[in-house]
Chains A and B, each alone.
Chain A
Amino acid sequence: MTEPGLYHLLTISTIVFFAGIFGFFTRRNLITMLMSIELVLNSVNLNFIAFNKYLFPGKLEGLFFTVFIIAIAAAEAAVAIAIIINLYRTHQSINVEVAEEMKG
């Protein structure tokens, strides 16, 4: 139990990142895959904030990147959920195997 610092924050974000990757590989349901993507995006945000806090305290660049990533993630989630609900209306299922028919 040492004093927490940059390395501890980066370790947390790495573990959450790979939990998201694991979920993305194993899940076959579009909503749970979207949740895994949210985990990955959040771990990246924590990285930016940690670097900004511990390595570049004289700048605010990491904070701006985090705010913009949050905005883009919100837009992405809204569009993805619109597509998922549309897919459910036409196919009554939201598995990725069903989404293959969207091709072409």
Chain B
Amino acid sequence: MSGSTIIFYLLAAMILVSAIASVTTRQIFRSAIFLLFTLVGFAGIYFWLDYQFVAAVQIVVYVGGIVVLIIFSIFLTQSSGEKLPAPLTRRTVFAALASLMGLVMVIDLLWRHNFVPSSSKKVELPTVSNIGEQMLGIEKHGYALPFEVVSILLLAAMVGCIVIAMRAKNETT
């Protein structure tokens, strides 16, 4: 067993344990920290696959952005150290049943399916220059239009956040 295999299984164990802990723990702050470990584990898997650009984006946006935002909103809305109320037993049982059945079905299908790799022998490495040329390309396989659409979406989200925050201020005064 090579070192790379050991690293893969360590990352996989970290992702799975912290993902399941994140949805079952009763303390909301711990839940956020377990989510952080899951996201770091995903970034590690991307590094393991040699997709350094995606791993960097994952760390910058998810770990540096979304988790910090979630932790701030926990501080703003929850009294710390307080446990979440336990969910109804009936709801837990049915949710566990539904997700376990879906899990078994998908994994069974997955391991019986034979994936056929593309026959093309060309290998395009995910280097930053390849990614940049294709993302801003306006030829046949360029992604310039989706790039611009996403930038408009981000602008709209930013304006939306400001509007949502402003309206409450006007109501209170």
CB closest chain-A residue, reference B162: A82
- Chain A count of residues within 8 A CB distance of the other chain: 69
State whether B124 touches A59 (Cβ < 8 A). Answer: yes
Contact of B122 among A28, A32, A58, A66 (CB under 8 A): A58
B30 CB to nearest chain A CB (Å):
11
Residues of the B chain whose Cβ atoms lie less than 8 Å from the Cβ of A89: 168
Q: At the interface, is chain A mostly helix, strand, loop or mixed?
A: helix
| A102 in contact (CB, < 8 A) | no
Total CB contacts across the A-B interface at under 8 A: 218
Instruction: With A42-B38, A64-B146 given, name 17 new contacts (CB 8 A).
Output: A1-B1, A8-B8, A14-B107, A20-B23, A21-B102, A26-B92, A32-B28, A35-B22, A53-B51, A54-B115, A57-B118, A57-B123, A67-B135, A71-B153, A72-B153, A74-B61, A78-B69
Binding site for A on B (CB under 8 A): 1, 5, 8-9, 12, 15-16, 19-20, 22-24, 28, 31-32, 35, 38-39, 42, 45-46, 49-51, 53-54, 57-58, 61-62, 65-66, 69-70, 73-74, 76-78, 84-85, 87, 91-92, 94-96, 98-100, 102-103, 106-107, 110-111, 115-118, 120-124, 126, 130-131, 134-135, 143, 146, 150, 153-154, 156-158, 160-161, 164-165, 167-168
